[in-house]
A and B are shown apart, each in its own frame.
Chain A
């Protein structure tokens, strides 16, 4: 484990160690830990740093490889404690404007039944469901999710009528929203270790209400972070 090197701008005198932070980060990246004018820098890019923290407070740990970066804060309050911080990981893209990210996902399986629609368009996946018939897109591979906490789904457009809704899942976690539009949706996957990612707009005909519910979505980007 590489121990962080401390630099302090302004030349104030060194202080006694207060606590330790053990920080995993993506190997090959640089990792720093800072608070105010104090900056600790991991001396190598091994992927695991040990920062000797000189004082209590909120410390910001940042990892970057020049392209991606990720930061988090760690609260240090108890003298002598060793904090094992959650691993810093960059986002894992599962779909991006026509790129199916096949090395990770294996590609996406689209399914449409009846009058529903499932299409791979040049910059998105289009799914439309009415009358309760299936339209879905599912990753071909089960995706390892242990290093990530959030599934993000960006719709470049979407709509629904009546009680139509948009449902998506990542392994054992699922989200359903009746607020369908051009925005990014999130799903907590903190306790999900792996699984396929699936999208399914939902619509149906209601005899009781005598109305048709529909939902259509244009999925433009999907990623984990």
Chain B
């Protein structure tokens, strides 16, 4: 999955000014809200938290409460399943 990060290593799902592009398989099949609640620190780089603690990359960690992100991701997967069911009905017809 291609993502973009800003100077604070926060993730985005679309390119923008000052953003850098990376391919991160961890985000495959994840929804936009889920991805944009994450921070990605590439290998060889460092991020310093507000309390002064420094973390080296590669690190993939949420900056939004993960429980909120899971709600978005669950909704996304439900929609994907509903779309898949719809497609199957078109292909094979209603069993009833």
> Which residues of A approach B to under 8 Å, CB–CB?
72, 149-150, 171-179, 186-193
Contacts and interface: CB of A to CB of B under 8 A. Distances in A.
A172 B59 CA distance: 11
Contact of B43 (A176, A186, A190): A176
A188 B59 contact: yes
B7 to A, nearest CB: 17
The 7 closest A-B pairs by CB, nearest first: A173-B61, A191-B62, A176-B58, A172-B66, A188-B61, A175-B59, A174-B60
Contact of A172 (B47, B53, B55, B62): B62
B22 interface: no
Interface in B46-72: 47, 49, 51, 53, 55-56, 58-67, 69
A164 B59 CA distance: 16
Interface in B24-81: 26, 37, 39, 43, 47, 49, 51, 53, 55-56, 58-67, 69
B63 to A, nearest CB: 5
Contacts of A177: 43, 56, 58
B63 A190 contact: yes
A187 B61 contact: yes
A171 B61 CA distance: 9
A191 B58 contact: no
Contacts of A172: 61-62, 66, 69
Contacts of A176: 43, 58-59
A173 B62 contact: yes
A189 B58 contact: no
14 contacts: A72-B51, A149-B51, A171-B66, A172-B61, A172-B66, A173-B60, A173-B61, A174-B60, A176-B43, A176-B59, A190-B61, A191-B37, A191-B62, A191-B63
Nearest to B67: A193
Given A173-B60, A173-B62, 14 more contacts: A72-B51, A149-B49, A172-B66, A172-B69, A173-B59, A173-B61, A175-B60, A176-B58, A188-B47, A188-B49, A189-B61, A190-B61, A191-B64, A193-B66
